[in-house]
């Protein structure tokens, strides 16, 4: 079909080290063992798996052509069976309705095992293959991966591309999680002695301007992911239409105000991920974020 890349892969070997990188220009070309690995590591794979699932469900004509996925494997040869392969990393270079994602890299290994000796040959090969795909240097504006992996890859990318590294990280994130078994149902009593009413609910169309303001406020602290008014409105519309934006509404004297926003934008079969929590400055220190996060988790 015109404008749609062929479903193919290319492999590049790293001499006799037994490390191979494969590039897939179509989500439908990903081998089953890669899907199995993503699903097996569903929680750490939440940066790649939900988007991959959504992309695979779309009709072929709707797939964005400027996307690809890479795998880094330790194996005797690219033709080895899946049982003889050790899938080490999965990299995605993808887009969504708001533009381009960072470069996401998922590791199938525990973070404490990602030593410099293990990482060096693998990230060097990944970075080289990424440059071979002819992506512009400014497309690799952010690397999101476990800390040792992101730092090693950034250094490898700087070496092959000549791009100067930033002296500091954009952000540091830690994952926490709960399940039905570990979730503690401890409802917070709202301190609303002034007669106000608190509603914790999905965002609705009539909330769009207030949700957009909260989206913009969240992004204002998230360089380089700033949003202008149009971008914030676009994101608010996306959250509301897809029922993945939750709000803490305060109603007083018949006037409604949205105090806090929680977004759950990366969801797969067993993992739902809170990706945004933001409280309006005028409503902070009142427990709004905790109250809404607890409601969303429940």
User: Which residues of the chain register pLDDT less than 50?
Assistant: 1-8, 11-16, 61-62
Residue-wise pLDDT for 185-224, tens only, equals: 876 665 566 778 899 999 999 999 999 999 999 988 777 7
pLDDT value of residue 163: 87
pLDDT value of residue 11: 47
pLDDT value of residue 5: 43
> Residue-wise over 54-71: b if at least 16 C-beta within 10 A, else e?
ebeeeeeeebeeebbbbb
Give the C-alpha separation, 250 to 235, whole Å.
Answer: 22
pLDDT value of residue 6: 44
User: Per DSSP, which regions of the chain are E strands?
Assistant: 9-13, 19-24, 68-74, 86-93, 95-96, 99-100, 103-107, 143-144, 197-202, 245-252, 255-263, 266-267, 272-273, 276-279
pLDDT value of residue 69: 94
Give the global pTM. 0.85
């Amino acid at each position: 079909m015109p404008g749609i890349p062929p479903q193919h892969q290319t492999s590049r070997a790293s001499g006799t080290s037994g490390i191979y990188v494969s590039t897939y220009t179509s989500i439908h070309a990903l081998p089953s063992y890669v899907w199995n690995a993503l699903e097996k590591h569903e929680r750490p794979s939440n940066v790649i798996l939900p988007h991959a699932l959504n992309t695979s469900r779309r009709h072929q004509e709707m797939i964005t052509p400027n996307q690809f996925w890479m795998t880094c494997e330790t194996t005797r040869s690219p033709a080895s069976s899946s049982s003889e392969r050790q899938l080490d990393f999965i990299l995605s270079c993808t887009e969504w309705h708001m533009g381009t994602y960072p470069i996401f890299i998922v590791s199938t290994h525990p973070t404490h095992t990602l030593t410099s000796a293990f990482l060096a040959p693998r990230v060097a090969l990944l970075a080289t293959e990424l440059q071979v795909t002819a992506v512009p240097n400014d497309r690799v504006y952010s690397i999101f991966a476990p800390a040792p992996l992101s730092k090693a890859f950034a250094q490898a990318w700087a070496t092959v591309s000549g791009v100067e590294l930033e002296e500091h990280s954009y952000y540091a994130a830690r994952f926490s999680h709960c399940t039905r078994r570990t979730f503690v149902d401890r409802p917070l009593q709202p301190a609303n002695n002034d007669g106000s009413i608190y509603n914790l609910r999905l965002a609705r169309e009539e909330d769009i301007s207030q949700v957009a303001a909260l989206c913009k406020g969240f992004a204002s602290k998230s360089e380089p992911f700033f949003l202008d008014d149009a971008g914030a409105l676009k994101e608010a519309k996306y959250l509301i239409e897809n029922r993945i934006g939750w709000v803490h509404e305060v109603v007083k004297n018949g006037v409604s105000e949205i105090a806090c926003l929680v977004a759950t934008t990366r969801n797969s079969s067993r993992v739902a991920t809170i990706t945004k929590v933001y409280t309006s400055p005028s409503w902070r220190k009142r427990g709004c974020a905790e109250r809404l996060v607890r409601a969303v988790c429940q």
